[in-house]
Chain A
Amino acid sequence: MEIENGGNSREEQKKEGKNKAEEILKLFPARFQETFRICAEDEENLQEIRMRIGKPVLLLFRGKEYGLKKNGEVTRELSLSWKPDEREFSAIFRHICQDSPYAYEEELQRGYLSVEGGHRIGVAGEVIRQGAGIKNLKAVTSMNIRISHEKKGCADRLLPKLYEDGKFLHTLIAAPPGCGKTTLLRDLVRQISDGNPYGEGMNVGLVDERSELAGCFRGIAQNDVGIRTDILDGCPKEEGMMMLLRSMSPSVIAVDELGSQREARAFLNAARSGCVALASIHGENLEEIRNKPFLKEIWEEKLFRRLVFLSRRDGCFYIQNIYDEKGKKVQEDAVEIGRCDSQCAGERRNGILYLQGAGGKTGRAGTIGSSLRPSFQGDFLQR
């Protein structure tokens, strides 16, 4: 039995957007929720919330930086942005950890923690060392809340190129940071696992070292990665791949961001033992990828049958190129696979840009979300 693929209906998307906004708001104590409401309601465009003690709160919307006033207004004037003091910052951090930061000790050692909804919170502060390693953080002074974006159906246009006679091909997805590698990989894993028009569902072993793909929170995947996917969360990739091979005998093994010789070797071993390999990597073009020393063995074996390059322009994500194992282009022109810019859903009337917010209502230019409050200043959102 195959699961229905692709994007949801508009109504479902609206509902999902609202739930996601609520999820983001739940990260903050009740007394700060109004401050974050407007930016949370634009969760589709919100990428990061950066907070530092005594420094302006910075929001990253579609790759651009904005400040956040205490009353919830988003501003380009960073000097007007709210600067949380130590008590406010600490209250937010403790709320995120549900008053139990000690329960996240191991994650804090790695420098980030995953929370409900698959969002990831990077932390920095004073470190306590133990021998050569890091024992814990003594004081957390900076937080980077990275909003998880699950875009179901974003791999729809890529899938036909990755199958041959109903069989999924070894695939590597390459792109510079912020071009949607992880989001695309997540949707690929889901569709390969559930089954899609080009191939039957397969057992997928997913090693999610940084909890970004499945976004596991206390072991439970917060993102949909398919019905036949087994996840090893927070596990180093090289060990995880071997563990999955031994224990779950997956048909496909998927990892995010190959980055070392050991990982590449484990990956190659997994492929040699009969698994189809699916991975992502940092890189802009074919030459750069081919020159990565840790991938030497993989190139020698011509493992990857498909090499997919992603790019991002004007808030839209593209499949820039797809190559086969011989370096021949499988796809000539760039194909748009999604956008992180909800302006595309807006319309211009009498010179004013109207946007569709998460709540489904339309707000005037400079307004996002379901409210009609003038939230943005200056030329924000004006095109």
Chain B
Amino acid sequence: MAAAFGLLSREISYSGERISEALCICGNRLGGRLGEVWESIGEEALLREQSTEEIWARQMGEYVENSSLSDEERKKAVSFSAWMGFLDREAQIHAMKEFSDWFRGAAAQQERELSEKKKLIMSLCVSGGLMAAILLL
């Protein structure tokens, strides 16, 4: 997700495309399930029957339900809809970068938590093993 938002911010920074078109381009480059969803959001937004905000909230809502993201990450991903529509291009790019940074931070945090959990499990296993050895002796 961090990489995807990074790609989106770079696309808008480079080409100044509208968000719908940028989503199509980035979705195509990203590939995978997220890429498909972004392409689909972009294509639906181009039809202009609903706002990009509504389409994002609906389609990303469905996507995160079936993803391995945490609850917090799910909420964050869906909330991007409220961060569209800046009058200033720099402000829009900045918002996307913030999302990218947030997901990067969340991923790093998860990695840290995972390694701590690993350490905890390892130490529990070692102490359990020691205990068993003492009991057996």
Contacts and interface: CB of A to CB of B under 8 A. Distances in A.
Interface string A89-127: 001001101111111010010000000000000000000
A94 B50 contact: no
A136 B87 contact: yes
Interface stretch (B15-23, B25-33, B61-69): B15-23
Which of A95, A98, A102, A108 is packed against the most chain B CB atoms within 10 Å? A102
Interface residues of B, number: 22
Contacts of B18: 97-100, 103
Nearest to B20: A98
Interface in A1-58: 26, 29-30
A234 to B, nearest CB: 14
B52 A98 contact: yes
Given A91-B51, A95-B51, A100 B88 contact: no
A98 B19 contact: yes
Contacts of A105: 16, 87-89
Interface string B44-72: 01101111110000000000000000000
B16 A95 contact: no
A138 B87 CA distance: 7
B91 A99 contact: no
A138 B91 CA distance: 11
Nearest to A103: B18
Interface in B80-104: 84-89, 91-92
A103 B85 CA distance: 10
Nearest to A137: B87
Given A99-B45, A103-B18, A94 B51 contact: yes
A289 interface: no
B19 A99 contact: yes
Nearest to B87: A101
A95 B48 contact: yes
A99 B87 CA distance: 10
Which of B45, B49, B50, B87 is packed against the most chain A CB atoms within 10 Å? B87
21 contacts: A94-B53, A97-B18, A97-B85, A98-B19, A98-B20, A98-B46, A98-B48, A98-B52, A99-B19, A99-B52, A100-B18, A100-B19, A100-B52, A100-B92, A101-B87, A102-B92, A103-B16, A103-B19, A108-B87, A136-B88, A140-B87
What 8 A-B pairs are tightest by C-beta distance, nearest first?
A100-B18, A99-B52, A102-B89, A103-B18, A102-B92, A100-B19, A94-B85, A101-B87
